[in-house]
Amino acid sequence: MRHVKEADPEVHGHMQAELERQKNVLNMIPSENYVSPAVLEACGSVLMNKYSEGYPFKRYYQGNRHVDEIEKLAIDRAKKLFGAEHANVQPLSGSPANAAVFLAFLKPGDKFLGLDLACGGHLTHGSSVNFSGKIYQQVSYGVDKETELLDYDKIREIALQEKPKMIISGLTAYPRQIDFRKFQDIAEEVGAIHLADISHIAGLVASGVIPGPFPFTDIVSTTTHKTLRGPRGGLIMCKEKYAKDIDKAVFPGMQGGPHNNNTAGKAIAFQEALKPEFKEYSSQIVRNAKALADSLMKEGIKLVTNGTDNHLLLIDLRPFGIGLGREVAVALEEAGICGNANSVPYDESTPFKPSGLRLGTPVLTTRGMKEKEMEQVGKWIADVIKDYKNDELKRIINLEIGALCQLYPFY
């Protein structure tokens, strides 16, 4: 960062401090990851200087012959990685990708079915404060109150009754596998489009570690920066018969020029994910999440659904008090662990003061940690939860975490 340092020491200082923070904390936010140096270089490259409205070899600007080749590579690799018929690599992130899907298939006021935010959905699945809930009419489905699992009979019942134009499957805080085939069947039965949002689990799906929505699902959206370990960005894949609708909705419907630097980052990340070692990495993410879940439950911590099948787990803090999520998240950060407060199903508190804590294992796995480390991390987390106001405890754990981070350097 030599040039940044010379040109703007103030920004450089903050960037340097952020690098140190990323190295010295146990980053357990399940939607984050640390990209490879190759992806990092591509995203900070001259490709960001170019405007490329349109699609490869059909642009509205001259000078795109190299960008065309890069976007073509990204498209071909995405299709190969997921076994998709069509891929659009231009969405700037996950929310714009979902917005483009709404634009392609729904008119303002149309009805759709989405997972309730507190039960593990996403803002763009119909939250009242998001475009999806403001412009369109959301009917929500949740998880079963007892098992905290998706109840497909109930979802089918709601779909038959409500006749939505679109059904969204997908998660941001649901720690179990999703039966995408069942969602597609329900959508076909009621004549709806099925959008599977695999933003969180894309890397696990690409490597076949958990079941995904291919090849049968109408539309699949994802971010590229979570378990997939690529740059910040979005991606939409679909059956060939929807390709034109999706492409038109992304550009000119939703966006202008794509961010070509990130497109190159996506192409590189997809290539990395096509390598055999990515499968082992993805398996380790899930093994680590299960080991962490076991360690926490051994310490008497309650997990939503009593475990996990994917990269994340959701701690239910209600046995310690309602609405404690944020306080515990802050205490954990003081101890050197970064997670995020999150609602739990049927939370008695508000999204601003939720009763849960969401944690994930992608970054720790990227750093090379395995089950043994997860057992220790689980103990630290449990100790902080049980005594979150104890500054001396947090100070000691912070020192121990600092030593662990030294053993797993990154960047």
Residues in contact with ligand DSN by the rule CB under 6 A: 31, 94, 122, 172
Q: Which is nearer to ligand DSN, 31 or 366 (CB)?
A: 31
Q: How far is the CB of 94 from ligand DSN (least distance, A)?
A: 6
Q: Active site residue: 182, 232, 279, 353, which one?
A: 232
Q: Which is nearer to ligand DSN, 33 or 172 (CB)?
A: 172
Q: Which is nearer to ligand DSN, 77 or 200 (CB)?
A: 200
Instruction: Mention every residue, 6+ apart, whose C-beta is less than 8 A from residue 10.
Output: none
Question: Would you call 148 a catalytic residue per the annotation?
Answer: no
Residue 159 token pair:
């779909």
Q: Which is nearer to ligand DSN, 173 or 324 (CB)?
A: 173
Q: Point out the residue whose Cβ comes nearest to ligand DSN.
A: 31
Q: How far is the CB of 122 from ligand DSN (least distance, A)?
A: 6
Q: How far is the CB of 339 from ligand DSN (least distance, A)?
A: 11
Q: Which is nearer to ligand DSN, 94 or 356 (CB)?
A: 94
Question: Would you call 263 a catalytic residue per the annotation?
Answer: no
Question: Would you call 197 a catalytic residue per the annotation?
Answer: yes
Question: Would you call 394 a catalytic residue per the annotation?
Answer: no
Q: Active site residue: 59, 176, 226, 290, which one?
A: 226
Q: Active site residue: 23, 32, 50, 51, which one?
A: 51
Q: How far is the CB of 71 from ligand DSN (least distance, A)?
A: 24
Q: How far is the CB of 274 from ligand DSN (least distance, A)?
A: 25
Q: Active site residue: 71, 116, 148, 197, which one?
A: 197
Q: Which residue has the tokens 């309650």?
A: 302
Question: Would you call 366 a catalytic residue per the annotation?
Answer: no
Q: Estimate to the nearest angstrom the gap between the alpha carbon of 40 and the chain centroid.
A: 19
Q: Active site residue: 172, 222, 223, 305, which one?
A: 223
Cα separation, 235 vs 96, in Å, equals: 10
CB atoms within 10 A of CB 40: 15
Q: Which is nearer to ligand DSN, 21 or 244 (CB)?
A: 21
Question: Would you call 226 a catalytic residue per the annotation?
Answer: yes
Q: How far is the CB of 93 from ligand DSN (least distance, A)?
A: 8
Residues marked active site are found at 51, 53, 197, 223, 226, 232
